[in-house]
Amino acid sequence: MLPNGSTFPCEMFLNSQVRTAEQNFVDSGNTDFYRLVESAGQAAFEQVEMTQDKSRSILVLVGYGNNGADGYVCARRLLEAGYSVTLMAFIRDEMGEEVLKAQRRFVESGGEVECFSPQKVLCADVIIDGLLGTGFSGEIRGDFKQAIESINKSDAWVFSLDIPSGVNADTGVGPDAVEADVTLTFGAIKQGLMTGRARHCVGRLEFAPLGLTEYLPEASSITVSIDYVNQHLKPRDRDSHKGLSGKVSVIGGDIGMAGAVRLAGEACLRAGAGLVTVISRPEHQIVVNANRPELMFWGCELVDMEVYLRLGWANILVIGPGLGKHDWGYNLLKAVGLSDKPCVMDADALNLLSCEHGRQDHWVLTPHSGEAARLLGISTQEVESDRFAAVKAIQQKYGGVVVLKGPGTLIHDGKQCYVAPVGNPGLASGGCGDVLSGIIAALMAQGFDKLSAAIMGVVVHGEAADRAAKDGERGMLATDLMPHIRRLVNKI
C-alpha cells in the first residue's frame, strides 16, 4: 500500500541513513531526540484517533528502545483523550534517556505500566506495537517472540509504530514479525518496508515525516507506481502504423511447453507491440495461433539461416518462456547471443545463462528468487535474506537491467534500485512470468529504454494482477491479466 496515497516515485532509505539524518536534525539546533519522540507519538495518536472509537479497549506493547518511547507517548495522549488504555512494557536495567522520560510522563498522566500477559493480548480490541524498532536485526527470542506470536493470534486491529516488530528495516526480512493492519513509519520510508516478508506484515503504510526530509541524503532506492506509467505513456499519433510500434520475436516453447510462448506473445501484443513472431517447435503452431491469429509463427527444428533472418527481422527479442534446457533451447540461446538485438531473458534462458556467465548491457533479465539463486550460485534462502543485495549482485555480474520478481519486485540498472509494491499472491501461478516478459519487450519495441520499459512492465503487470484479483487471488490465471494490460497501457 502506498503511504498516504502519495504520488510516486517515492524515495526510500537505509536505516543508517535515517539515523544520520536524525542526528543532523538534532545537531542543527532545531530539535532534540526527545522532541522527535514526542512528534512520533503524537502522529501515532492522531492515526488511532482517526480510526478507532473510544469504546474499544487499547493495549500498547512497548520495548525498551526509542520505538517503546514512541509507544509511551502515544499511550499518554490516548489516556488524555479519554481512551481506555492498558500498557505492557518490557524493561531492562539500562534504558535510554528518551524512553525513561516518556515512561515517566506516561505515569505522571495516570498511566500504569504492567508486565507482559499473553492473555490480555488475546483479549484486546486494538493493539499498538511499539516493541522493536528499526534497529532490530537477528532472531526474535524469549518474551518478545511470545508477545509477537500472541499479537498475531489475536483478532485485534494491529497498529505498528515505525515498522512491524521483527521486520528488518533494510531488507524486509521478518519470519517472526508482527502482522500489522496499519504501519505508521516515521521520518523516512525505510526500503525494507516494500519488499520480502514486509509486504505481508506492513498492512497499509502511512507516513509521518517529522521534519526530517531536508536532512536526508540521496535515496537508497525509489518506489514506483502506476503514476510512473501514466507519466511516460502518451497517446499515439493519429498517423501511427504498426511499423512504428515495433517488431518482437518471442523464442521458446520446447516440447510440451507451447503455452509459455503463446502467453508471452499475446502479452506483447496487448501491451502495444506492432508485430510479434513466435519461434517455437513446428508442432506448436496450432496451440499458438488458436484464438490468436494475430501472432505470426515460425516453426524451428534446427537453428538455420531462416531462424537468423527471423531474429534479424525483430527490433526486440524475448527468449526463455518454455525454452527448456536441452540442446534445442541451448542452440537458440546461442543464436540470440550472436545477435546484437536488445532482448528480454526469462525462465530457462536464465537457467542456461547461469552456466555460461555471459555479460551484456543490451538485455533485461527477469529472474524469480530461485533463478536468481542459480545465477549467483547461492541458495534461494540467501537471495530472500537480502533481495536488494541479490539484485545488485546479479546486475554487477551479468550487466543490463535486472528485474528480481517477488513481493515488492526490484529493478536495478547498476545505478539505482527501484521497488514496485504492486501485485499479489495470485501471480504465483504458471505463465505469469511469461506475461511480464512480453509486456517489457513490447514497451522496448515501442521505443522505451530498457530501464523505463522494465519499470513500466513490472508496474503494468502487477496492477493488472491487482485488478484481476478482484475476483479472488486463488485460481487467478495468467490469461486473466490480458484485458487489464490493454486498459492500463491506455490509461483506462
User: Average pLDDT of 377-405?
Assistant: 98
CA geometry: angle 416, 420, 425, nearest 5 deg: 145
What does the chain come to in residues? Answer: 492
Query: Cα(328)–Cα(285) distance, rounded to whole angstroms?
Result: 17
pLDDT at residue 8 in the model:
47
User: Average pLDDT of 454-474?
Assistant: 97
CB 137 within 8 A of CB 163: no
Q: Say whether pLDDT at 395 is over 70.
A: yes
Q: Say whether pLDDT at 7 is over 90.
A: no
Query: Cα(28)–Cα(489) distance, rounded to whole angstroms?
Result: 46
Q: Say whether pLDDT at 5 is over 80.
A: no
CA atoms within 13 A on the CB side of 396: 9
Domains of the chain (ranges plus CATH)? 14-219 (3.40.50.10260), 226-489 (3.40.1190.20)
Q: Say whether pLDDT at 255 is over 90.
A: yes
Rg of the chain taking only CA atoms, in angstroms? 26
- Burial class for 177, CB neighbours closer than 10 Å (0-12, 13-18, 19+): buried
- Grid coordinates given for 492: 483506462
More confident residue, 94 or 458: 458
Q: Whole-model pTM? A: 0.95
Edge-to-edge strands, sheet with 113-114:
113-114, 85-89, 58-62, 126-130, 157-161, 182-186, 204-208
Compute the mean pLDDT over every residue in the chain, rounded to the nearest whole number.
95
User: Average pLDDT of 184-205?
Assistant: 96
Q: Which of 134-138, 279-283, 308-312, 447-451 is predicted with the least confidence, judged by mean pLDDT?
A: 134-138
State the DSSP H helix or E strand holding residue 419, giving kind and residue range, or none if neither: strand 417-420
CA geometry: angle 211, 217, 218, nearest 5 deg: 125
Query: Cα(301)–Cα(465) distance, rounded to whole angstroms?
Result: 35
Closest alpha carbon to 444 in 346, 321, 294, 314: 314
User: Average pLDDT of 131-138?
Assistant: 92
Span 281-300, pLDDT tens digits? 999 999 999 999 999 999 99
What is residue 197's DSSP assignment?
T
pLDDT at residue 137 in the model:
85
Closest alpha carbon to 60 in 205, 166, 160: 160
Query: Cα(29)–Cα(214) distance, rounded to whole angstroms?
Result: 14
pLDDT at residue 3 in the model:
52
Q: Say whether pLDDT at 9 is over 60.
A: no
Which residue is associated with the grid cell 542526528? 23
pLDDT band at 279 (very low <50, low <70, confident <90, very high): very high
CB 363 within 8 A of CB 414: no
